[in-house]
Every structure is written in structure tokens, then in C-alpha cells.
Amino acid sequence: MKFAIAYSTADGLDPDRLVAYARHAEDCGFEGLYLPEHIVLYPGAAIGPFEIPPALPYPDPLDCLGFVAAATRRLLLGTAVLLLPYHHPVVLAKRLATIDVLSRGRMRLLTVGLGTLPGEAEAAGVDFGTRGRRADEAIDVLRLLWEGDEKGVGFTGEFFGFDGVCSYPKPYGVTHLPIHVGGSSRAAARRAGRRGDGYFPGGALTPEERAVQWELARTTAAEAGRDPDALEYTRWGSIDMSSERVEAYAAQGVTRIVVSPSSTEPERQRDEMSAFAERFALPRIG
């Protein structure tokens, strides 16, 4: 089992606090650090029954991860989730590859999703109803650009089109970066099976629905001629979870668990991370 940790900017974005958090997570032995994304918020924006305060700070996750990369040595960099329909894939391919090169191959926990706020899509100039097709196309464009050589590549789709273009730099030492698919729907599970390197479901799903979605991701991968056993399965967990709970996750096929501190106080957060690392014997380097 792999263990990663998420970072919240709910209390504001302080560079010293972010660096201290990331360095302590690395020293504790966590595999990677995840940040969320919202392009914009607005009064009344809600995810399910939970309204999001419009002034809640959501900095650009890729800029933050580049900043973290410069202050750490081995911590992998992740998003949960990057709202793919609101990014142009030609620009995004270069941004992601640049972070990966400068971090020497650590932009490897990219998780993409569709977003659930219609007002966010409208502000980004995206038709909310087409964001699934747009995301599918964007994944194809990202991989095409990363794999292309100096002869150039072309693409003709519903949303994106170009001919004979080259995108450099390339990801560090790999043909393309892993792309995990986030979401809490069966459509997301199918997208993970068809196009993803892994599935990272969220949402308040029943155990039965989670099992159905993971099996759907695997069967969709097989139907697409892909190896279902190559899919990674990431799930959210709690910072105080027991070894028995982790074993239960593993029995469900989970390969990575992402946790978050329960406290907002930096010192208490460090204590929670340290306790978790000790409980699961993470490979400490500090």
C-alpha cells in the first residue's frame, strides 16, 4: 500500500507553511502531496448539500506543486483533482512536462476530473454539458503531444485541433505522465478504464457502489484492450485510520490511500503526520 497526503489552503496560502508541511510529509515517508483545484467560486456554489464559501482560497495547484518541488527531494506531486475541461490541453501538456522535468520526474500523481459547479464552467467559457467529452479529448491530446517527435503531430476533434506541432520538453524519462481519473460516478469509472492509468473516486458512495465502480473501471479497461491489472486504485482515508481498515481497503483492490490532517494547527498537523507514519512504518528519510 502507498500512502500520500493532501494539503488544504483553507486558512490561506502561506509559502513558509506550505514548504514546512511538504518537507515534513517527505521526511515522514509519505509518497506524495496532493492539492485540489477550483478555477473560480461564487455565492451559492455547492457540492451536494455543502455550500463552498466564495472567499475560500484555491491557489493554482500546478504553481504550488512547482514551488513544493523546489523545496523537496523525492515527494511526488499530485492533484485531486485538476479540472481538466477548464484547461487547454496544448498549454497544459507543456506546463505538466515542465514541472516533471524540473522536479526530475515527480509530477506523477496527476488526477483529473470534470468539476460539478455549472457557474465555474460558465466562467471558464465551457459548456457544462460537454465537459465529459472535452476531458476525454484533452487526455488524448496530452498523450499525443508528449509522445510526438520533431516531425510534429496533428489532431482533429470536436473541441481541439492542430496539425504538425511539436511540444517540448517531454516528461522526464517516460513517454507520457500517468493520468488518474477522479470522480464519483460510473461515467468516471468508465473513463478511468478507457483512458486512465488509475481511478481515484471521491464522494459519499456506499461500499456496494464503490465496488461496482471499481469493477466497471476494470471491465471497461479489458473491453478497450487494456490491462485492468495495470490500473491503480486510489482512495481517500482518514489520518487516524487503523491497520485493519487499511487491510480492508487492500482487500478491495486499493493501491494508494490519501489522508489529510484533522487539525488546522501546523504543529498538530505535524504530530498527526508523524503518528501516522510511525503506525504504518513509512520509509522515513528525516
Q: Average pLDDT in the 174-185 region?
A: 97
Question: For the whole model, what pTM was predicted?
Answer: 0.97
pLDDT tens digits for 132-169? 999 999 999 999 999 999 999 999 999 999 999 999 99
Give the other-Cβ count within 10 Å of 109's Cβ.
27
pLDDT tens digits for 61-95? 999 999 999 999 999 999 999 999 999 999 999 99
Percent of the chain with pLDDT over 70: 99
Looking at residue 240, its pLDDT comes to 97
Q: Average pLDDT in the 190-207 region?
A: 96
Looking at residue 249, its pLDDT comes to 98
Amino acid at 186: R
Whether the predicted pLDDT of 254 surpasses 60 = yes
Looking at residue 48, its pLDDT comes to 86
Q: Average pLDDT in the 213-218 region?
A: 98
pLDDT tens digits for 235-248? 999 999 999 999 99
C-alpha cell at 79: 492533484
Q: Average pLDDT in the 207-225 region?
A: 98
Whether the predicted pLDDT of 271 surpasses 80 = yes
pLDDT band with cut points at 50, 70 and 90 for residue 103: very high
C-alpha cell at 282: 513509512
Q: Average pLDDT in the 23-39 region?
A: 98
Residues with Cβ < 8 Å from 278, sequence gap 6 or more? none
Helix 61-71 with 15-28: angle, nearest 10 deg: 60
Whether the predicted pLDDT of 286 surpasses 70 = no
Residues with Cβ < 8 Å from 118, sequence gap 6 or more? 128
Q: Average pLDDT in the 2-28 region?
A: 96
Distance CA 217, CA 207 (A): 15
Distance CA 271, CA 250 (A): 25
